Amino acid sequence: MTDEIYMREALRIARNAAGRTSPNPLVGAVIVKDGKIIAEGWHRQSGTPHAEIHALNMAGELSKGATLYVTLEPCSHFGRTPPCANAIVAAGIKKVFAAIEDPNPKVAGRGIEILRAAGVEVEVGLLAAEARKLNEIFIKWVTRKLPFVTLKFACSLDGKIATAGGESQWISCAESRKFSHHLRDINDAILIGVGTVLADNPSLTTRLVVGKNPVRVIVDSRARTPLDAKILTDKSARTIIAVTENAPPEKISALKNRGVEIISTGGEQVDLKVLMRELAAQEITSVLVEGGGTIHFAMLNAGLVDKVLAFVAPKIIGGKNSLTAVEGAGFKKLSDAVTLKNFTAQPLGADILISGYVTEV
């Protein structure tokens, strides 16, 4: 039970860097000696020292004979930083609890092998499920070469995201809107369809919390994004527009002149699967989809969504022409409908936040 307490502390502090370590994982480390925590550390940003190094530096000579609790197998390779496994051995740590093995093929058990070969006792699997959930983004990206995709929307009790006249501000409460901006902060990119750009002219920046702006990705098959759109003129974040080979060359050129990056894929419609692979290749490990019903269905239908977050407000809008959270062609059979797994519902201000996974985690 005590071992679990120390590992939970490692998991807790790892979350301090949510949204800051991409494309690296979130990692926390706790060093214990004589029944007391003597040092802690977490990975703070890609390219900087790993969690274990921060903890070892804090412990100093006290590391000798101590026990290390770490949420992910210590690395064994030279990347942007030296291998942590070697540093652990040199520090004289006697035992290591690692929640899970590193799924990165560059590590994949080799860090554990280094430790055991040096006489360090290693146990793997303590709070493994919690550790996998902590790094669900990293695990998908490093094993499948795809970003982890979260579909987020705010809707009324009857599933409407806007009235028939297009009014949508504000269906959700202030607490929900603030949490939505937190989601922007911790995701690498935010994705919408061009229809949302034309209807709302959004900024897609993080404003209600202190944080970073995500990369903005617009799915725009025909390059219809207006040249005076906020996403082109505010210079607040990197912006990518995905077009097709049929998009007018002159419009693509004009967008590039505004500093936009263009990804071209597909003929009639943007090939979303290819787009996701391209984003992953650019070390974009997580994507928040925050658009309209058309792009929502397209992403779900393509099997690209991992997690759904729905902010349901205690309002009824009605109207057959009111916009709904998921539109498009829809699924023809109930057996094809998306059923969320690991489903949860919790109050958030006046709203209910419903969350669940499209696939098992």
* Residues recorded for the chain: 361
Identify the H or E element spanning 14: helix 2-14
Q: Compute the distance between CA of residue 307 and CA of residue 344 in angstroms, rounded to an integer.
A: 12
Q: How far is CA 310 from CA 46, 89, 152, 313, 354, in A?
A: 30, 46, 6, 9, 5
**How many other CB atoms are there within 10 angstroms of residue 203's CB atom?**
16
Say whether 321 sits in a helix, a strand or coil. coil
Q: Which two tokens stand for residue 149?
A: 């995709």
Query: Catalytic residue among 4, 40, 52, 121, which?
Result: 52
Q: How far is CA 206 from CA 29, 178, 219, in A?
A: 29, 9, 20
Say whether 123 sits in a helix, a strand or coil. strand
Any idea which residue has 């997690």 for tokens? Answer: 307
Please say whether the beta carbons of 136 and 361 come within 8 A. yes
Q: Is 52 a catalytic residue?
A: yes
Q: 274-283 long-range contacts, Cβ below 8 Å, gap at least 24? A: 275/217, 275/219, 275/242, 276/146, 276/147, 276/149, 276/304, 277/145, 277/146, 279/147, 279/189, 279/217, 279/240, 280/141, 280/145, 280/146, 280/147, 281/145, 283/22, 283/23, 283/188
Please say whether the beta carbons of 190 and 219 come within 8 A. no
Q: Which two tokens stand for residue 185?
A: 């902060």
Q: Compute the distance between CA of residue 127 and CA of residue 99 in angstroms, rounded to an integer.
A: 6
Closest CA to 84 of 97, 100, 73: 73
Catalytic residue IDs: 52
